[in-house]
Copies of this chain bind each other. A is one copy, B any other.
Amino acid sequence: MPASNLPSAPTPGNVVIGQSGGPTAVINQTLIGVAKEALRHPQTFKKVYGAIHGIQGILDGNFCDFAEEDPANLEIVAGTPSAALKSVRLKPTPQICAQVLARFKEHDVRYFFYIGGNDTAETAHIINEMAIADGYQLTCIHCPKTIDNDLRVTDHCPGYGSAAKFVAQAFMGDNLDNRSLGGIKINVVMGRNAGWLTAASALARQFPDDGPHLIYCPETDFSMQQFGSDVLKVSQKLGRCVIAVSEGIHGIGGADIINLGETDSHGNKQLSGSGALGDYLAAQLKNFLGKAQPGVKHRIRADTFGYLQRCFPGVVSEVDAREARQAGTAAVEAAIAGTTSGSVAFRRIGDGAAYAIETFITPLHTVAKETKHMPRELLNAAGNDVVMEKLMPYLKPLVGTLPAIGRLAMVGAKKA
């Protein structure tokens, strides 16, 4: 029985690729990266199957055959957001994982590539452990994807750069809108545990008075009182205020700000798919400002970016797309090199002057289940902004080109 991480010669057998969890704009780059690279090695990978709806498809014996796909169409699929094999949110109970392993044996599946986040890595990890215990030779490689950028070990996650680009462009537009008409604007951004995506709103800042003027991430405790006085201060200075708030913000000790009442099979509480948090914050803020400035009328609006930010066609980071493909190819290369389990990860290389990455394989258990927060030092002491000079060198290379934004010089106009 081989140890899980020691290289060994690749055993010929069939391949199953699956996608799991929420979609991203580039998750199909990884899928097509795996599929095309696997198809290039028919001596090792006899059949290259796609499981429809992840492990649910494996349980149901619902597979498609990548050899039957038109190669030109595969490239269009690669550029299409959201899981082309369809996705699943199914808790990997020991019973379900045992059934998955039984199906793999039936179909002579020796290679399992599973694309997803930390819950997906957990599923791959459990199946891998079971196969080892069972003496069944199975290679389990997890390919990372998540817009939240909250996987451990890797420098960053495929999917994040494109979602960050959407958030940056959304704030660019919203800042211009707010600059034009004034008022107070709250935008709620995805990110259950980590503020990475909310922090990406800071990319919208091009001129000194550009929003977002305040940024709240789940890495610090949120206080309504502090929020109110922060907004008041910005509003008094600029006559307007654009605010980025993570959907994952919480009070002291992780206390809910609001509770939508639904949880998924992994025990995650519903945060998205509702405007409730934004509306609640707007109402509380109206109340706060009404007391702080009696008689002053504030125009307060809230938008919740919702599902748009995770897979918006046409707003894709070119760097993210390339790296997502690379993650898929690297997974297959690792399997050929004899790696029998692990998760593909990125690290930055070179002297830091030019952005470059390389891939490596990290053990599944280092990525499974747990998530990674933003380092506290990327956020300011007050917990109401990022530290631009620390965040930007990390973030900018991941997002690619952003639209050019221009302002009139306004010679002759009164100063605002």
Contacts and interface: CB of A to CB of B under 8 A. Distances in A.
Interface stretch (A135-143, A148-156, A273-281): A273-281
A52 to B, nearest CB: 5
Contact of A282 (B83, B274, B409): B274
A80 B405 contact: yes
A254 B282 CA distance: 27
Contacts of A279: 274-276, 279
Interface in A77-115: 77-89
Contacts of A405: 76, 80, 313
Interface in A244-290: 272-276, 278-279, 282
Interface stretch (A176-184, A222-230, A355-363): A176-184
B276 A411 contact: no
Interface centre among A25, A86, A406, A411 (most CB of B within 10 A): A406
A406 B302 contact: no
Contact of A172 (B23, B306, B313, B410): B313
Interface stretch (A57-65, A118-126, A336-344): A57-65
B77 A408 contact: yes
A187 to B, nearest CB: 8
Nearest to A183: B273
A354 to B, nearest CB: 25
A402 B80 CA distance: 12
A375 interface: no
Given A23-B180, A82-B176, A315-B315, A273 B409 contact: no
Nearest to A75: B406
A181 B407 contact: no
Interface in A18-67: 19, 22-23, 25, 49-50, 52, 57, 60, 62-65
A202 B80 CA distance: 18
A37 to B, nearest CB: 17
Copies in the complex: 2
A213 interface: no
Given A172-B313, A176-B311, A64 B302 contact: no
Among A73, A89, A301, the most chain B Cβ lie within 10 Å of the Cβ of A301
B303 A307 contact: yes
Given A181-B89, A274-B279, A63 B413 contact: yes
A306 B307 contact: no
A176 B23 contact: yes
A299 to B, nearest CB: 8
A75 B74 CA distance: 38
Contacts of A381: none
A284 to B, nearest CB: 14
Given A275-B278, A307-B185, A410 B169 contact: no
A19 B315 CA distance: 28
Contact of A308 (B74, B179, B278, B305): B305
A170 B307 CA distance: 9
Contacts of A169: 312-315
A301 B273 contact: yes
Given A176-B313, A315-B315, 10 more contacts: A19-B180, A50-B413, A52-B414, A57-B413, A62-B413, A64-B413, A70-B409, A173-B307, A176-B311, A275-B304
14 contacts: A50-B408, A50-B413, A64-B413, A69-B411, A81-B177, A87-B180, A177-B307, A185-B273, A185-B307, A273-B303, A275-B304, A279-B279, A305-B308, A314-B314
